[in-house]
Amino acid sequence: MESLKERIVNNGRALNETVLKVDSFLNHQVDAKLMYEMGTYFKEYFKNHGITRILTIESSGIAPTVMTALQMNLPMVILKKQQSKILNGEVYQTTVHSFTKVMDYELTLSKNYISSDDKILIIDDFLANGEAALGAARLVEMAGAKVAGIGIVIEKSFQVGRKKLDEKGYDVYSLARISKLGKDLIEFID
């Protein structure tokens, strides 16, 4: 997605070899038109995958995901991050480790909003170590549903997440793939 790459180059900021700040248009301030355009790209790629429902993880994935759900005319579900474990029969839960925040959290999905017939598209803002996406996929599979695709806004291809998702056989589509970051350096794949 060329317009996204341009925004990353013009408004993103590489702090070091792993951290890319995009809080001027994606994580803190949000460009709604750009989010809508992301939805158009995700719809185009996944339109023949038989998707029945879209999942995302709070909170930076919500804006691009709701724009995708609008254009694909599908329900979306926001997976909640909870720091304390609330176990009851009404939810699926899995523990996810955040390398960025150096903490664990519980990713939670109500059993009311997924069924074993579902073909799920998972959308998230960043793919780095892949722990969040893999956690979302575990919830889908706990429900007996199928992960029909994973859509990522910005993939840091030099980290292990993409490889882990590929090895699981998931169909991963990233709008921008970054091969290298460094102080004031951003390089893309392709």
What residue type is 136 in one-letter code? A
Distance in Å, CB of 21 to a copy of itself, minimum: 10
Rounded to an integer, what distance in angstroms lies between the CA atom of residue 111 and that of residue 119?
15
- Residue number, 28 or 85, with CB nearest to a copy of itself: 28
The 3-state secondary structure of 65-114 reads HHHHHHHHCCCEEEEEEECCCCCCCCEEEEEEEECCCCEEEEEEEEHHHC
Footprint on this chain of a copy of itself (rule: CB under 8 A): 23-24, 27-33, 35-36, 58-60, 62-63, 66-67, 69-70, 73-78, 80, 110, 112-113
- Residue number, 126 or 165, with CB nearest to a copy of itself: 126
For residue 178, give Cα distances in angstroms to 5, 110, 113, 137, 139: 9, 34, 33, 23, 28
Distance in Å, CB of 179 to a copy of itself, minimum: 28
Distance in Å, CB of 163 to a copy of itself, minimum: 29
Distance in Å, CB of 111 to a copy of itself, minimum: 11
Return the structure tokens found at 38: 């992301």
Return the structure tokens found at 141: 């599979």
- Residue number, 26 or 152, with CB nearest to a copy of itself: 26
